[in-house]
Structure 1
Amino acid sequence: MAIVESVSKIPLQDPPEEEFSSADLTWTKFGNADHHDEACSNVLCPTQFHIEGGTKLPKGQSRDTLKKYKGDEHIEYKKYQCSFGPENYGEGGEILPSRRCRTNTRNRAARPQSMRGCTCHFVVKRLYARPSLALIVYNERRHVNKSGFICHGPLDRDAIGPRATNIPYISNEIQQQTISMIHLGIPEENILEKHIEGIERYCGSNVKFNSLASQHVHKLSMIIKRSTHELDLDDEVSIRMWVERNRKSVFFHQDTSESDPFVLGIQTEWQLQQMVRFGHHSVVAADSSFGVKRLKYPLFTLLVFDSRQHALPVAWIITRSFAKPDVSKWLKALIDRARSVEPGWKVGGFFIDDAAADIDLLRDIFGCPVLFSLWRMRRSWLRNIVRKCNNIEIEREMFKRLGTIVYNIWGGTSTSVALEQFMLDFVDQTDFMEYFRVSWVPKIEMWLSTRRNFPLASQEASGALEAYHVKLKAKLFDDSHLGALQRVDWLVHKLTTELHSSYWLDRFADESDSFQNVKEGYIASTSWHRAFQIPDSAVTMDGKDRLFAKVASQKDSSVTRIVWNPGSEFSFCDCSWSLQGNLCKHVIKVNTICENLQGYQPSMSFRSFEEVLMDLWRKPVDDSFELDVSLAWTHQKGRTYNGKRSLILATPVNRNTKSVVMHKKNRKRKRLSRLR
């Protein structure tokens, strides 16, 4: 390396970041052949530096008062010394051994106990010649003592006690894997086995590492088992304490006051990563009203669909208020957080499951099409029919009639007339009719209107949302926890430990192809995926009246399930899963087969998709905004619809189809770019 004798010839450097290390700079030898300073970008030892001393231009004296000055004369000078020196508080004279026991300190070099006579230091000067710049000079680039021996760090062969080379590397992934397994109640010996496997991927096999890993897993297990959701007897105080301790997992918090309701928005760093990854230019969905009757505050969940189209929770909002100003605040905070990671992050579509949702607000904030899912309506009706009626023939007929009312939005039949006839025909089912009259009659027009005006989510998406809801219910409404349902800190604890760990481990098992039993359970966690394990040969259709279909069990050949009203979202199956109100695999399998058979009515999701496409053709050429909305919906629906039925669309006879298509294709759609 050539020696530079003039400061003015040292090249000026401007690191791109405010914080930089010696490795980010290009170093130059400065001085003459007999004496020069140099530095090296290879850092031998991690350390910290402290200001050892310095000088400054005397008060009242300025650069202009000196007519002549040398090129390296300075206005200000500071010396930065490695914190392992320069004094020596070790033992043994000139060759200084490292400390023989670990000191209880958070610093890399605790003074004075850790000082080992290290001579490494550098100076920072402001020169008369160039006062606006800083000259950094390393006078001793090596971490050695006065005798020239390395005195600290991993290259110090005389170090005694725990060293960096003898401590196994535990990545964030291994740590989170271990924590998740502990939260899920997996036996400690199984956790330790997986923990050691993870360490060996980085460090190889080592008996000492295994011993340290065992201690680490046992310590983590004890900490987690002894942890409690009650940080204080007062629930509100406990929540404030949790928020203070977990700032990174809270994207919005608003305490209860006279003017503001309680709102707590939770999103861990991992959930943020999944939201950015799977939500960008894709679909975000809402499970909007969990625990309205049983929890102190209802739970609102935002979900994305992962690589297997499973619903993955990426944010939890605990609040009782869904007024527009309150929802707007936490939604904007959530989007700002996502865009702080991915500046161009944008949602491609938003699924709602409640007709009372503020759709205008969602459009304004997300700037994307809104789609509607009927899974909540279907589940509520089926569960209450099975609970409140005792005759299975009446149950399936009532469910079919309710489905017909929903289908009739395309037939022009009056909803009020159809409802009145339904209630007259089943007037003897007093328990269900009382429930239906109180819970649904006042709002069914609103639900059907939303159903009519917005595209419908596919059965796959609805099944994924329902699977999340069922899993959430199983985790939270365990009998052993019923006494804690009115505490918010308990709900937060369950969400951020057991539920979060469950989804993290599911995703990790699938992506790393490990934990095969966990992976298989994760893949089969939705009825949609379970349905495709049933071969077509196991399904027998009623060829005469098309009233039902039979599905042979794959586990027990003597068992056959009957699906009534095949081809409809309101099909009724006699399996136990369906009788709990869920969309079962037998219904999905039968409906998938019906899509390719003549004589069966198309599913509502297909009819909805067809309506959007037809509406697209009906739009006048100059109706730019409405056309853009239709195209955006069609684009989104095409991604979520999984049917195989072919589309045959008739174009209006009084229009030049070719010219219209070419005109639409060539137009610049500025609004469409905002909607996608």
Structure 2
Amino acid sequence: MARWDEILSLPVQNPPTLEFSSSNLVWSKVEGWRDNIDRIALIPYARVDDFVRGESADKECPTKFHVEARRRRTSKTTYKPKVDGILEYILYWCSFGPDDHRKGGVVRPSRSTYVPKKKSAGRPNTKRGCTCHFIVKRLIAEPSVALIIYNQDKHVDKKGLLCHGPQDEQSAGTRAMYAPYISEDLRLRVLSLLHVGVSVETIMQRHNESVEKQGGPCNRDDFLTHRYVRRQERGIRRSTYELDEDDAISIGLWVESHQNQIFFYKDFSDSDPFVLGIQTEWQLQQMIRFGNHGLLVSDSKFGTNKLKYPIHSLVVFNSDNKAIPVAWIITSRCASRDTARWMRALYNRVCTKDPTWKLAGFIVDDPLTDIVAIRDVFQCAVLICFWRVRHAWHKHLMKKCSEIGLRTEIAKRLGEMIHCICKGLQTGNMFEDFMQSFACAAEFVDYFKATWYPRLGLWTSALRALPLAGLETCAALEFYHNQMKLRVLNERASSVYERADWLADKLGTKVHSYFWLDEYSCKDDFSRYWKDEWTTGLTAWQKSLLIPDSNVAIDGGDVKIVYQGDQITFCVVRNPSSLEYALCDCESSKAGNLCEHVFKSIRYLRGGGPVASSSVSMFQYKQALFKMMHCPPYDSLIRDHALSLAVWVKMQLSSQVQERTVGPTSGDNHNMVELIPSLEQTTRPTTEGNLDSQFISGDETSIDPRTDATENLLCTDPPYSKITGFGVRNGNQDLIGEKENRLYSGNEGMEGLQNDVNKKSSLGHASDSAPRKPSKEIVTYKRRKVLSTPPLM
């Protein structure tokens, strides 16, 4: 029992990387069986696959570990709980062993019937007697922990000589130099191309061309065979989503066969709604990569008019600020209790991979969303996006009101009402007056009164309580929504829209493949085979950055923009001062979308044209800064730290603005930097109720040449309470944010900003919450202690 007491007292190590190997762990030696000394370590059981992949990716000796033996207790098996009891036993062995098919090699008696084939069928000469292997045990005493016993960690044969890899002289010129089989990235690439309709011959032709271009094979992926691709294509062609006539039984069978893609599942019942949460391994990696200190956006209403089970998407923004879906939730109806449960399951799944992962902001698009559950699970700021409502208003206004002048006035009035709500102004009977004033547009007013007037109370409360997302976020979400319409709602037989098994299979195969290929760097090699569903390109915001100022002209109260490539045709943006509620006569705007011409007119007006009102998000950002200065630090030590933090924030915002701005003249960047207030002075103690005149000078609605570039500096409008320790604490959990992986907010207010300060500089103050350097030193803990990189706060 002393052995197990020693084992269970070891810390559970959880490296904060997607994959890790034995070199990332601290190994302990304990007495083993037959007086042997075992080399062991404890990791979370959910991360065993990450360890196997990381150990296989050894640069000095690349390989792949396969399951040589496995024993497990079934769920129905009764067993006596005991400290050394095992729920599951897995033996992983290097794929170049344990048998040795080389000349004079030893083959185990149970494998003596092996007959060497004339052709390897695309497989390398794998069996070379490698003795490298490790054992994974899942203990009854700690089911969430995996015990790894790794005694044979060298890739050598029984004679102690290297038997494969680039350092083995006998492997030179053979496939034994590389890891067996193809990589996971190439496997996903092949499957994705097959799912979107690219033929086997085309895939192999492009692959062979790339290998020839580099001068021959140099890694395991270069040995991709026609037979393997054909086998994958045959499996896709023969697969079916309808595993049973009963949809409920069929979706249950689908879930059983796709356990690695499911993070939450609740079956059909009379009392509770059906809920299915889908997240592939690639989506999990994107969520960790782009969601850490970034934004997570909810698109909760896709397919409500056609699908029996609407799709709730969670998306992040990649380095190009395009939306990538990182999870899909299929549910029969919305329930706040289930929302909290699947959000918690998703968060736990991410933190299992990366314990240091922390979200900076969560954007919702529905006022009925469970905000309390989001703040409780993700511990971050919550913002709201109004693009879906604006899209519906715009589309129906274009359809139901034919008079251009009246249409422009209605759009302007709608924009003014929403801006008044977001800025906290008194609204009174604003919507009733609107319907009376435009009674002449009877068709649109009837639609507005019947569809939206009953919901305005909820939306008004949400817009007052939560900060509004910026225009670039809206453009990215709209682009994602249009992609989903092309990729999901394209079936000829509309009857499939009633089945949950079809939707789950479609999302996990074809739709996932399209989004994976969107991030594939060499997707242009297959451009001639693209279909309508493979829609990629720039968002409307990004397209507006490519329009030169020379193509823009002011004509009275309108803006005329010449089409690129056609210097004769132009479009007219009416009422451009209404920002996103401006109307353009291009085809995209007529369909209700945000077009690049509206964005360009906004940027042009703020960059030196006539006066344009500042955006709502910029107004809320300034308001947050004003309220911060009403509560000066009460302690000199904290005041010094707040000053240092404020200076660092100013520097970060200045660099972000300079990098992201594309202005007509070189003076634009200078103006943008000047707009950022002198935070060194504004953080000094002030008399109560008085602010620095330099900071508050100017009208809030005056032109701001940088507003377009800082559109993503999302923020909130709650009271600033106090600064405590090394973090700014905000009781309302929403203070200030910034996209582009620099939006920091949450339960600690500016905790995320402080984390970055700790990473980049030392403030020289002694504190219990000062940054600590990660340590791998083994310390004896009680069971369930986790050894990982400690948080910076």
TM-score normalised by L of structure 1:
0.71
Distance in 1 (alpha carbons) for counterparts of 2:595 and 2:458: 27
Alignment of 1:42-81 (within 5 A): none
The C-alpha deviation readout for 1:358-378, integer Å capped at 9, x for no partner, is 212211111111112111111
Match status 1:396 vs 2:408: yes
Which of 300, 303, 328 is the aligned partner of 1:316?
328
Distance in 2 (alpha carbons) for counterparts of 1:45 and 1:541: 64
Deviation at 1:327, TM superposition (A): 0.6
What is aligned with 1:99?
116
The one-letter code matched in structure 1 to 2:402 is N
What is aligned with 1:60?
none
Which of 268, 276, 283 is the aligned partner of 1:256?
268
Unaligned runs of 5+ in 1: 1-9, 25-40, 51-80, 92-96, 123-133, 145-149
Which of 411, 420, 424 is the aligned partner of 2:432?
420
The one-letter code matched in structure 1 to 2:448 is F
Distance in 1 (alpha carbons) for counterparts of 2:631 and 2:192: 52
- Give % identity: 33
Which of 332, 356, 362 is the aligned partner of 2:344?
332
622 and 312 in structure 1: CA distance in 2 versus 1, 3 angstrom threshold: farther
Alignment of 1:84-163 (within 5 A): 85=107, 87=109, 99-100=116-117
What is aligned with 1:503?
515
What is aligned with 2:596?
585
Alignment of 1:635-654 (within 5 A): 646=675
Is contact 1:184-1:498 (8 Å) kept? Answer: yes
What SS does the corresponding residue of 1:270 show, helix, strand or coil? helix
What is aligned with 1:535?
548
665 and 233 in structure 1: CA distance in 2 versus 1, 3 angstrom threshold: closer
347 and 99 in structure 1: CA distance in 2 versus 1, 3 angstrom threshold: same
The C-alpha deviation readout for 1:56-109, integer Å capped at 9, x for no partner, is xxxxxxxxxxxxxxxxxxxxxxxxx96654659979xxxxx96347999x9x99
Distance in 1 (alpha carbons) for counterparts of 2:395 and 2:61: 68
What SS does the corresponding residue of 1:350 show, helix, strand or coil? strand
Match status 1:383 vs 2:395: yes
What SS does the corresponding residue of 1:361 show, helix, strand or coil? helix
Alignment of 1:104-503 (within 5 A): 169-197=181-209, 204=216, 213-409=225-421, 414-478=426-490, 480-503=492-515
622 and 245 in structure 1: CA distance in 2 versus 1, 3 angstrom threshold: farther
Distance in 2 (alpha carbons) for counterparts of 1:262 and 1:524: 35
Highest Rg: 1 or 2?
1
Distance in 2 (alpha carbons) for counterparts of 1:618 and 1:491: 52
Q: Which moved more, 1:649-658 or 1:299-308?
A: 649-658
What SS does the corresponding residue of 2:581 show, helix, strand or coil? coil
Which of 501, 525, 528 is the aligned partner of 2:538?
525
Deviation at 1:426, TM superposition (A): 2.4
Distance in 1 (alpha carbons) for counterparts of 2:205 and 2:570: 42
Deviation at 1:325, TM superposition (A): 1.3
563 and 13 in structure 1: CA distance in 2 versus 1, 3 angstrom threshold: same
Which of 14, 17, 42 is the aligned partner of 2:39?
14
The C-alpha deviation readout for 1:340-365, integer Å capped at 9, x for no partner, is 10012110011111122221221111
Deviation at 1:142, TM superposition (A): 5.3
88 and 163 in structure 1: CA distance in 2 versus 1, 3 angstrom threshold: farther
619 and 387 in structure 1: CA distance in 2 versus 1, 3 angstrom threshold: farther
228 and 100 in structure 1: CA distance in 2 versus 1, 3 angstrom threshold: closer
Deviation at 1:315, TM superposition (A): 0.3
Deviation at 1:230, TM superposition (A): 1.6
Deviation at 1:429, TM superposition (A): 2.8
What is the RMSD of the two structures over their aligned residues, measured on CA atoms? Answer: 4.9
Distance in 1 (alpha carbons) for counterparts of 2:41 and 2:132: 24
Is contact 2:364-2:382 (8 Å) kept? Answer: yes
Deviation at 1:170, TM superposition (A): 2.2
Alignment of 1:526-565 (within 5 A): 526-542=539-555, 544=556, 547-565=557-575
87 and 11 in structure 1: CA distance in 2 versus 1, 3 angstrom threshold: closer
Is contact 1:85-1:119 (8 Å) kept? Answer: no
Unaligned runs of 5+ in 2: 1-34, 70-96, 100-105, 134-148, 662-670, 696-720, 731-746, 753-793
The one-letter code matched in structure 2 to 1:537 is S
Deviation at 1:589, TM superposition (A): 0.9
What SS does the corresponding residue of 2:245 show, helix, strand or coil? coil
Deviation at 1:416, TM superposition (A): 4.8
Q: Which moved more, 1:345-354 or 1:164-173?
A: 164-173
Alignment of 1:606-625 (within 5 A): 606-619=618-631
119 and 497 in structure 1: CA distance in 2 versus 1, 3 angstrom threshold: closer
Distance in 2 (alpha carbons) for counterparts of 1:245 and 1:47: 20
What SS does the corresponding residue of 2:565 show, helix, strand or coil? coil
Is contact 1:283-1:350 (8 Å) kept? Answer: yes
What SS does the corresponding residue of 1:309 show, helix, strand or coil? coil
What is aligned with 1:668?
726
Is contact 2:382-2:466 (8 Å) kept? Answer: yes
Is contact 1:255-1:262 (8 Å) kept? Answer: yes
Is contact 1:350-1:371 (8 Å) kept? Answer: yes
Deviation at 1:417, TM superposition (A): 2.6
Deviation at 1:620, TM superposition (A): 6.6
Deviation at 1:502, TM superposition (A): 1.2
Deviation at 1:553, TM superposition (A): 0.2
Is contact 1:174-1:195 (8 Å) kept? Answer: no
What SS does the corresponding residue of 2:300 show, helix, strand or coil? strand
571 and 653 in structure 1: CA distance in 2 versus 1, 3 angstrom threshold: farther
Is contact 1:352-1:373 (8 Å) kept? Answer: yes
Which of 580, 605, 623 is the aligned partner of 1:594?
605
The one-letter code matched in structure 1 to 2:260 is K
Q: Which moved more, 1:169-178 or 1:466-475?
A: 169-178
165 and 430 in structure 1: CA distance in 2 versus 1, 3 angstrom threshold: same
Is contact 2:64-2:180 (8 Å) kept? Answer: no
Deviation at 1:647, TM superposition (A): 5.0
Is contact 1:44-1:143 (8 Å) kept? Answer: no
The one-letter code matched in structure 1 to 2:544 is A
What is aligned with 2:576?
566
Is contact 1:351-1:373 (8 Å) kept? Answer: yes
Is contact 1:90-1:99 (8 Å) kept? Answer: no
Q: Which moved more, 1:231-240 or 1:308-317?
A: 231-240
Is contact 1:302-1:314 (8 Å) kept? Answer: yes
Deviation at 1:604, TM superposition (A): 2.2
177 and 388 in structure 1: CA distance in 2 versus 1, 3 angstrom threshold: same
The C-alpha deviation readout for 1:480-502, integer Å capped at 9, x for no partner, is 25231111112112211222111
Deviation at 1:566, TM superposition (A): 1.0
Distance in 2 (alpha carbons) for counterparts of 1:474 and 1:346: 33
